[in-house]
Amino acid sequence: MSTGFFFDERTMWHGGGNYAFTLPIGGLVQPLAAGGLPESPETKRRLKNLMDVTGLTHDLDVHSASEASREALLRVHPAGYLDEFKAMSDAGGGELGRRTPFAAGGYELAALSAGLAVGAVDAVVTGEVQNAYALSRPPGHHCLPDFPNGFCLMANIAIAIEAAQAKRHAARVVVLDWDVHHGNGTEAIYYDRDDVLTISLHQEGNYPLDTGALLDRGKGKGVGYNLNLPLPAGTGHDAYLYALDRVVIPQIEAFNPDLIVVACGYDAAVIDPLARMLATADTFRQMTLRIKDAAERLCDGKLVLVHEGGYSEVYVPFCGHATLEALSGSQITAPDPFAHAFTVRQPNARFGAFLKDTIDELALELGI
Ligand code: ZN
């Protein structure tokens, strides 16, 4: 069966905000020539462009989607938030949260981004495709039900999972978030539930600073169904794969899901401007192969990757291409032009051993 690829150029037109990187312009902060927040369209559009140039797009089952319906949005977001967002969007745009501006029509574009995730999950759980990738923009994993933050305006993955569960298609779901930032929105939405296991690998001490702690395990019947693995700055290829093998995959196996969804950010990559990790395109390829293998063993291969962060316009396309090669099994490749440069910059043996020991210690502290 095929791999679905959910994309819509209109979502690349989401924008807004007078920022220079993450600083509001004004005072001593001069506007940039190519201004705006790091969450610009270019990282994501350039992934699609690279796929078109190599031909990988033609090996995938390409779809757009409709906007997520109000009914679908209301399963996650309160009506008051949606109404306020829509009114501000209709009036020309603005900002309702923290550094998460939108322009006129931003509401519809956020709903379309969520719709791409809904479409991808629906296609997988109904068996239309084997697995799928949603190139959603704006991203979603930071968005709380009533508070947009971290460039995220709607909780794309949660909206998609709730839509599938409303149709009784996926009773038990794992969300694995390997975006370098903590998936605080997804965690908050599922914190008291035992039917959705949320796992976040993230750089300790990165955004958001007040969430993502190791011992935040859930509440009520959700205790034990939220797992945070805060990793030190400088974590590279080997340690990421070790974290999957030592902690993530066994936890997913124990949970025995009907569907696995990955919050797939590429900002753990070596040259990302918003983090300090050392993952490479091959890291994302190998993580995808591992999670695909787990999905095939546990849930008939039902796996959806939803694009989140990743802010290097140059490198995200190669990371994403490697991920989609692994997901689809396509033989069409885009060799990583930085492979040598980033391999020689991996942690040395001493720091590598420290990172694995750290992961072992975190696992022991979690009792796993
Ligand atoms: Zn991120």
SS3 of 75-98: the string is CCCCHHHHHHHHHHHHCCEECCCE
Residue 176's pLDDT is 99
State the distance from the centre of ligand 1 to the C-alpha of 140, rounded, in angstroms.
Answer: 10
Residue with tokens 């939405």: 189
Q: How confident is the model at residue 36 (pLDDT cuts 50, 70, 90)?
A: confident
Cβ(154)–Cβ(77) below 8 Å: yes
- Does the structure show a pLDDT above 90 at 21? no
* Residue 328: both structure tokens together: 């689809």
Residue 19's pLDDT is 87
Supply the DSSP symbol for 180.
S
Q: Could you give the CA distance from residue 197 to residue 262 in angstroms, rounded to a whole number? A: 12
Residue with tokens 């009114």: 87
CA angle 355, 184, 319 (to 5 degrees): 55
Which three-class secondary structure string do you get for 26-39? ECCECCCCCCECCC
DSSP 289-312: HHHHHHHHHHSTT-EEEEE-----
Supply the DSSP symbol for 142.
T
CA–CA distances in Å: residue 236 to residues 107, 146, 282, 286, 315: 37, 35, 11, 13, 16
Q: Could you give the CA distance from residue 184 to residue 127 in angstroms, rounded to a whole number? A: 30
Amino acid letter, residue 287: M
pTM: 0.98
Q: Could you give the CA distance from residue 180 to residue 208 in angstroms, rounded to a whole number? A: 11
Cβ(249)–Cβ(240) below 8 Å: no
State the distance from the centre of ligand 1 to the C-alpha of 360, rounded, in angstroms.
Answer: 24
Query: In which region does residue 256 sit, left (phi positive, over 0), alpha (psi from -120 to 50) or beta (all else)?
Result: left
Q: How confident is the model at residue 327 (pLDDT cuts 50, 70, 90)?
A: very high
Amino acid letter, residue 170: A
* Residue 17: both structure tokens together: 């905000």
Cβ(272)–Cβ(266) below 8 Å: yes
State the distance from the centre of ligand 1 to the C-alpha of 1, rounded, in angstroms.
Answer: 31
* Residue 275: both structure tokens together: 């983090």
State the distance from the centre of ligand 1 to the C-alpha of 11, rounded, in angstroms.
Answer: 18
Q: 55-97 pLDDT, tens per residue?
A: 999 999 999 999 999 999 999 999 999 999 999 999 999 999 9
Residue 39's pLDDT is 93
State the distance from the centre of ligand 1 to the C-alpha of 182, rounded, in angstroms.
Answer: 7
Mean pLDDT of the chain: 97
State the distance from the centre of ligand 1 to the C-alpha of 112, rounded, in angstroms.
Answer: 20
Q: Could you give the CA distance from residue 286 to residue 221 in angstroms, rounded to a whole number? A: 33
State the distance from the centre of ligand 1 to the C-alpha of 190, rounded, in angstroms.
Answer: 19
The domains found in the chain, sorted by start residue, are: 3-366 (3.40.800.20)
State the distance from the centre of ligand 1 to the C-alpha of 311, rounded, in angstroms.
Answer: 8
Q: 261-282 pLDDT, tens per residue?
A: 999 999 999 999 999 999 999 9
Neighbours of ion ligand 1 (CB under 5 A): 179, 181, 265, 267, 309
Residue 293's pLDDT is 98
State the distance from the centre of ligand 1 to the C-alpha of 308, rounded, in angstroms.
Answer: 7
State the distance from the centre of ligand 1 to the C-alpha of 168, rounded, in angstroms.
Answer: 30
58 a catalytic residue: no
User: Three-state DSSP class for 102?
Assistant: strand
State the distance from the centre of ligand 1 to the C-alpha of 227, rounded, in angstroms.
Answer: 17
- The distance from CA 27 to its chain's CA centroid, rounded to whole angstroms, is 34
Residue 276's pLDDT is 98
State the distance from the centre of ligand 1 to the C-alpha of 231, rounded, in angstroms.
Answer: 14
Residue 44's pLDDT is 97
Q: 81-137 pLDDT, tens per residue?
A: 999 999 999 999 999 998 899 999 999 999 999 999 999 999 999 999 999 999 999
User: By CB neighbour count within 10 A (0-12 exposed, 13-18 middle, 19+ buried), where does 357 fall?
Assistant: exposed
Q: 302-317 pLDDT, tens per residue?
A: 999 999 999 999 999 9
Residue 34's pLDDT is 73
Give the residue among 169, 271, 278, 266 at the shortest CA–CA distance from 233. 278
Q: 349-362 pLDDT, tens per residue?
A: 999 999 999 999 99
Q: How confident is the model at residue 22 (pLDDT cuts 50, 70, 90)?
A: confident
Q: What is the mean pLDDT of residues 132-147?
A: 98
Number of H helices, E strands in the chain: 12, 12
Cβ(110)–Cβ(14) below 8 Å: yes
Q: Which of 141, 142, 202, 321 is catalytic?
A: 142
Residue with tokens 């990955």: 262
State the distance from the centre of ligand 1 to the C-alpha of 167, rounded, in angstroms.
Answer: 30
